[in-house]
Amino acid sequence: MRRLTWIIATLAALAGLTALTGCGDGSDDNTIPVATVGPLTGQYASNGQQMKQGATLVVEDLNAAGGVLGKQLKLEIGDDACDPKQAVAVAGQMVGEGVPLVAGHFCSGSSIPASQIYGDADTVMISPASTNPALTDDRAGPNIYRVCGRDDQQGKVAGEYIAKHFAGKNIAFVHDKTAYGKGLADETKKAMNAAGLQEKLYEAISAGEKDYSALVSKLKRNDIDLIFLGGYHTEAGLIARQMRGQGMDTVLMGGDALVNQEYWSITGKAGEGTLMTFSPDPRKNPAAKDVVARFEAKGIEPEGYVLYTYAAMQAWAQAAEKAGSTASSDVIKALNDTEFDTVIGKFRFNEKGDPSLPPYAVYRWHDGDYAEIEK
Amino acid sequence: MEYFLQQLINGIALGSIYGLIAIGYTLVYGIIGMINFAHGDVFMVGSFIALIAFIGLLSIGITFIPLALILVLLVAMLLTAVWGWTIERVAYRPLRASFRLAPLITAIGMSIVLQNFVQVSQGARVKTLQPVITGGYELMHAENFAVSLSNIQILIVVTTIALMTAFWLLIDRTPLGRSLRACEQDRMMAALCGVNVDRTISLTFVMGAALAAVAGLLYLLYYGVIDFFIGFIAGIKAFTAAVLGGIGSLPGAMLGGMIIGLIETFWSAYFTIEYKDVAAFSMLALVLIFFPSGLLGRPEVEKV
């Protein structure tokens, strides 16, 4: 069974490749190329997969409804592997092809350098998932947007949750040195300290490694009750597994990058009780009901950033319709003063390019699934 | 004290895996004087074969874990050995008479080929295996710190010691070992004395790959998460271990692996984890200043 899923994953990867090689012929006048860029390879590939699934369906839906400005959309998919260098290269490629919209990237560490490329070009970038504040605080151009929350908002919710529910306990902060991981850990620490709780340990790990046993023993010696990890689901999964392996019941808490079924496939039972922060589940949004059903009919669970990618393209399509053009200067005007009605709810962009979305919530993993918990 | 012991256990388990991979580098270097950069990826292929074999066995109903593990081990060693043999035959043997850098370049090429092959054929996402060998012991109790030794850590160390002993006997006591040592000293002279050099070199690659497969299986069981890229990091660390111990020396590879594993662990334990790789590589630099051919390596004697 697992082999079968690999075969499917391989075919999907190959399909991604062909989609990329098919880029050159998108120039005929009846189609508009739009792109999504995320990690389709590497250890965060399952996150990129979420983006790809969301983008594929939204393009299908928009085309079925008549396209944008009477033209059909043509989806291009780029792979940045969450690598800043590759992200810049892919961004350059998309700009070179004159793609008017990039719904990307995923990792903040690749979105920020890529935004420098889009900022100088005629391509609107709407990141569905990059939460590092710097993306819009140090905005590379007026054409950079995101449809997800920010780590200072996320860190505030996480930090206050820890200070409230783990008052007087031993807390450790660990980050993976990436823009996302360190940013989130620091924001959470700041909020927690402001609420009057000091951490006992602050460490950095290298992403991509598998052996965190030394870290885990260190947590054990410091009698840590909760470890907050600024990082992605693979490292979080390994740490959770190795903590249980050493007989510890320390709680692991992470951010939105853990909203991914692959986390549970790594941890199994060791993931029980893991906490994470994420926006209120967009799947429960009444406006998303039809779309969620369509995803599920295709065997896709629209979790994590699937619907955000869908919404990023929806927002752009609505803005382009309103502007009557796909030129970025016109689309930007429409993006700035329209209220969008998308699968993640109604929102506007503020002057920084951040969306007005409901605040983050705390989730808990239980028995292979996660649900929002009381604050 | 308890904390020290716990970190020692962590370090030895990690060092054993590094050591097993490092042997592959050292064997090949010892015999033909080239760095087989594809070896880390052979290790990665080994762990994938092990995972596929394991799932295959479970799906045909072999659920008795010890039997399944032994079968997986045999399948992984056999198939990975075939990979090792093929790589040598295709990429290195045709270039053996060429200039020194040529096989080095094909080795890097081979490494990329293996990575991309696995990425395309198995997908880019991580593959996971839930813990197969669970349980363990609590060795010591301090106030709030229990030293845990898991069964999988015991398995790793026991397997490593057993394989090292078997290998040492193989090289020291058997005719095959004699031809290996002869080729290492002087390939031309060995050939003149009737040693089949090509066959001996092929066998070196086969053995190195089989050991890498064992390491791959242990890695899979210990961490439970593999992807097509694991060969790179593990390969770099193991290569460092081989150089540190003295490349070309079998006990040196094991010693180097242990040292790298222990330095990484103890640095993480008592200093900041952020700089553990810096610590390990600084150690390498220091050792090479005082022992230019590694801890147990023999200095290269210029043949006149």
Q: Which of residues 250-279 of B touch A (CB under 8 A)?
A: 264-266, 268-269, 272-274, 276-277
Q: Is A268 in contact with A242 (CB distance < 8 Å)? A: no
Tell me the sheet residues that pair with A234: none
Please provide the average confidence, as pLDDT, over all residues in chain B.
91
- Has residue A14 got a pLDDT over 70? no
At B135 the pLDDT is 86
Q: Which of residues 286-305 of A touch B (CB under 8 A)?
A: none
Q: Residues with Cβ < 8 Å from A317, sequence gap 6 or more?
A: A62, A68, A73
Neighbours of A15 (CB within 10 A): 13
- Kindly determine whether residue A6 and residue B55, on different chains, have CB atoms separated by under 8 Å: no
At A16 the pLDDT is 47
Predicted confidence (pLDDT) per residue in A73-124, tens digit: 999 999 999 999 999 999 999 999 999 999 989 999 999 999 999 999 989 9
| pTM for this prediction | 0.87
Predicted confidence (pLDDT) per residue in B201-225, tens digit: 999 999 999 999 999 999 999 999 9
User: Token pair for residue A187?
Assistant: 């924001």
Phi, psi of A290 (to 5 degrees): -65, -45
Q: Is A77 in contact with A36 (CB distance < 8 Å)? A: yes
Q: Is A236 in contact with A229 (CB distance < 8 Å)? A: yes
Q: Is A314 in contact with A57 (CB distance < 8 Å)? A: no
CATH architecture of the domain A2-149+284-347 equals 3-Layer(aba) Sandwich (3.40)
What's the CATH fold of domain A152-278? Rossmann fold (3.40.50)
At B117 the pLDDT is 94
Pairing of strands B136-141, B146-150: antiparallel
Q: Do domains A2-149+284-347 and A152-278 have the same CATH topology?
A: yes
- Has residue B298 got a pLDDT over 90? no
Predicted confidence (pLDDT) per residue in A252-305, tens digit: 999 999 998 999 999 999 999 999 999 988 888 888 999 999 999 998 889 889
H-run or E-run covering A31: strand A31-38
At A133 the pLDDT is 94
- Kindly determine whether residue A245 and residue B122, on different chains, have CB atoms separated by under 8 Å: no
- Show me where the domains of chain A are located: 2-149+284-347, 152-278
Give start and end residues of each alpha helix (H) in chain A: 2-21, 45-64, 84-96, 108-119, 134-137, 151-165, 179-194, 213-221, 233-245, 261-267, 289-297, 306-323, 328-336
At B259 the pLDDT is 95
Q: Which of residues 42-81 of A touch B (CB under 8 A)?
A: 42-43, 45-46, 49
Residues of chain B with C-beta less than 8 angstroms from the C-beta of A215: 268, 273
Phi, psi of A356 (to 5 degrees): -90, 95
Q: What angle in degrees, to the nearest 10, is found between the helix axes of B39-59 and B65-87? A: 140
Q: Does A20 touch chain B (CB under 8 A)?
A: no
Predicted confidence (pLDDT) per residue in A41-53, tens digit: 877 888 999 999 9
- Has residue B302 got a pLDDT over 70? no
At A21 the pLDDT is 45
Neighbours of B90 (CB within 10 A): 12
Q: Which of residues 145-164 of B touch A (CB under 8 A)?
A: 145-146, 148, 150
Predicted confidence (pLDDT) per residue in B81-126, tens digit: 999 999 999 999 999 888 888 999 999 999 999 999 998 898 878 8
Please provide the average confidence, as pLDDT, over all residues in chain A.
90
CB pairs < 8 Å spanning A and B = 121
Predicted confidence (pLDDT) per residue in A131-161, tens digit: 999 999 999 999 999 999 999 999 999 999 9
